[in-house]
Amino acid sequence: MTRIQIPPIDFHGGQQAVITHPARFKVVAAGRRFGKTMLAVEWLALYDDGKSAIEGGSVAFFAPTYKLLADVWADMERTLAPVTRKANKTEQRIELITGGKIDFWTLEDPDAGRGRKYHKIVIDEAAHARYLKDAWEQAISPTLTDYRGQAWFISTPKGLNYFHELFQRGQDPAYPEWASFHMPSTTNPYIPHGEIETKRCEIPELVFRQEYLAEFVVMGAGLIKPEMIVTTPCPPGLPVVLGVDLAISEKEGADFTAIVAMARDPESGLVYVKEVERFRAGFHEVLERIKAAAARHKPRMIAVEQVQFQAAVVQELARTTLLPVRGVRADRDKVTRFAPLLTRFEQHLVRLDPFGCPAVFREELLAFPEGKHDDMVDAASHAFAALGMAVGGYATAGTRVF
């Protein structure tokens, strides 16, 4: 007989409260660095309750995207290697020598998991899953029927979506099998309190409340208040960068290409939006408009969003000019990318040049992120990220410049 000894995990108090609660369905609203994914993986694979994979159970881990799934797959494959019979990355399945199985699914497909049978499932970052309601009701929930399986929904909140609805269900006595847990980042005793307080000062209040306090907030229109918008001419001689949000199209109703020129005064710390333009144009006209903006402002960096075919704009400018062009990959959603600049607006450290910023830019700022268009705001986010790299002094969120 092969004896497998699993050393116990030292859960902190918040994790212990979740894993020991008897509810069949658990919804956990957790702040950053709470330790939610580690807890979920431990519960699925190793926890001693008769249904984990190490005990022969069939379990599954769901995530909104393949990128979020990949790191968990790698960690579990490495951790379970001594007891793994077969690991198939193509099929996204790990089979253990105990007979247990772990499947990995992305919720980019709302039919993920359909036809399988599970003792336990975890939906990680559930608030960020676009098809969560359809996936749960039509595909995932039925997989728990045969074994009367259990499910965890665990995530940092993101507005009042279906994850919020499930969280409310866990608070409702009408759903006795459900329980919900509110676990801010401060629940984790291993994170220095000063680190969280530093974030409170660095990022917008609503973003902090959502990401670290795990509160359900509405990132609706009104992130920028009218009193935050101050118009002042940009002083001459300040170093300038350009941010470009691309949309290669001339069709009516399509997104716009937007170019934002931005500068910073190193003495006062003021950020100046020097010029904003938006337009619909084909490939060659976009190139000419970027070159014309560069001729006006002599930028230290031109940050151009680079997604799929739009990368050709960066490549062509690099090939045919000596302009300081850098491709930008947007790693996070638009609100997260805008958060560093939003913080400066809240601190009244941003000035719009009245001669270069049209009224439509002000309107787009006040409507963001619920407005019909947000091209100029996104270009401003890219410019602010480039400003920190080309001129120095600011951290960025959700963008990578190459």
Mean pLDDT for 358-363 is: 88
Number of domain units in the chain: 2
Mean pLDDT for 356-381 is: 88
Residues 189 and 52 in one domain: yes
Residues 269 and 358 in one domain: yes
* Bridge partners of residue 25, in order along the sequence: 151, 178
- On whether residue 220 sits in a domain, the answer given is no
DSSP labels for 267-329? Answer: TT--EEEEEEEEE-B-HHHHHHHHHHHHHHH--SEEEEE--GGGHHHHHHHHHH----EEEEE
Mean pLDDT for 109-132 is: 92
Structure tokens at 215: 């509160």
Which CATH number do you get for residue 391?
A: 3.30.420.280
Which CATH number do you get for residue 156?
A: 3.40.50.300
Residues 179 and 241 in one domain: no
- On whether residue 274 sits in a domain, the answer given is yes
Residues 200 and 248 in one domain: no
Counting every residue written for the chain, the total comes to 402
| Of the residues 210, 236, 269, the one at which a domain ends | 210
Residues 334 and 393 in one domain: yes
The predicted structure's pLDDT at residue 97: 93
Residue type, 268: S
Local confidence band at 304 (pLDDT 50, 70, 90 cut-offs):
very high
Match 């000596």 to its residue by tokens. Answer: 322
Mean pLDDT for 132-148 is: 95
130 vs 392, more confident: 130
Residues 127 and 161 in one domain: yes
CA 230 to chain centroid, in Å, comes to 30
Residues 240 and 317 in one domain: yes
Residues 195 and 270 in one domain: no
The predicted structure's pLDDT at residue 392: 56
Mean pLDDT for 365-376 is: 85
Q: Are 342 and 224 in contact (CB under 8 A)?
A: yes
Residues 261 and 190 in one domain: no
Residues 112 and 68 in one domain: yes
Q: Are 245 and 377 in contact (CB under 8 A)?
A: no
* Element (DSSP H or E) covering residue 106: strand 101-106
| Of the residues 210, 240, 271, the one at which a domain ends | 210
CA 329 to chain centroid, in Å, comes to 13
Residues 198 and 236 in one domain: no
Q: Which range marks the domain in which residue 195 is found?
A: 13-210
The predicted structure's pLDDT at residue 8: 63
Residues 248 and 331 in one domain: yes
